[in-house]
Amino acid sequence: MTNHKNGSNGNPSAMLLPGLDGKRVVVTAGASGIGFAIAKLLHEQGVRVAICDIDSAALDKASLDLGGCIAEKADVSDNSAVEAFFYKVQNEFGGLDALVNNAGIAGPTGNLEDLSPDDWRRCIDVCLTGQFLCARQAIPMIKASGGGAIVNMASAAAKHGYAYRTPYSAAKFGVVGLTQSLAKELGPDNIRVNAVLPGIIEGPRMEGVILDRAEATGVNIDAMRNTYLKSISLRRMTSPKDVATTVAFLVSDLGFNLSGQSLGVDGNVETL
């Protein structure tokens, strides 16, 4: 790869981070949004990336954009699909150096007593159990590589109670607990485990969340959007690339001694 001067145009992808070139990394839900931003930045850093997602068309496009990387359709809440995906990664990569547990869904919005048990379970299954299922497959592979990193995607909702988004907040609090427990469990195997807590991410998913909450509370959508922005100290939403740079840092050698941490990438969300 061609080296670049540090800080050229302030573009993080123009700065090569130590220890990434040639690494083998899985990014779940890597075909769009935050996941694709992570996979793209890692690819630009010389990483061999494998992604899974539930959107076949997005996977095809992402694979082309990522140089023909491994791209498999898999729902992370489906253990059989997860096993098949990691089996392919093992066969094609011969091992694994890092896992980015990115897959998640927004979950239902509404008063708890109005939520269906099925909607609750689906949110927990994807946002929390999916991380367990993927880590369960990845850990033996990373151990065999002599160590590495796991980055679990949590949320600012893992620091604050989130009215009308209880399943999502509960799942993300669980991700922080999973992260801290695994950091203790896997530290002796030279595996660093951290959580990244994005805040209010700009894009269609967040616009949908704002719309749903505006409808649930009877508030005008513009007023609800302003309410969200006023809850952020920097008064701006976070971009997927902001999250990607933090993940790349944690996977790289720059994150060599970081483990068990929950890093907010949110402009300092004060409340939700």
| 228-267 pLDDT per residue, tens | 899 999 999 899 999 999 999 999 999 999 999 999 999 9
Instruction: Report the alpha-carbon angle 122-126-128, nearest 5.
Output: 110
| pTM score, whole prediction | 0.89
Q: How many residues does the chain have?
A: 272
* Rounded Cα distance, 78 and 119, in Å: 16
Q: Which of 87, 162, 164, 168 is catalytic?
A: 168
Say which DSSP state 237 is in: P
* Rounded Cα distance, 49 and 70, in Å: 7
Which residue shows structure tokens 């402009």?
267
Strand 191-198 to 148-153 pairing: parallel
Q: Decide: helix, strand or coil at residue 259.
A: coil
Q: Looking at the DSSP assignment, which residues form a beta bridge with residue 151?
A: 100, 194
Strand 262-265 to 191-198 pairing: parallel
Annotated catalytic, 168? yes
| 139-161 pLDDT per residue, tens | 999 999 999 999 999 999 999 98
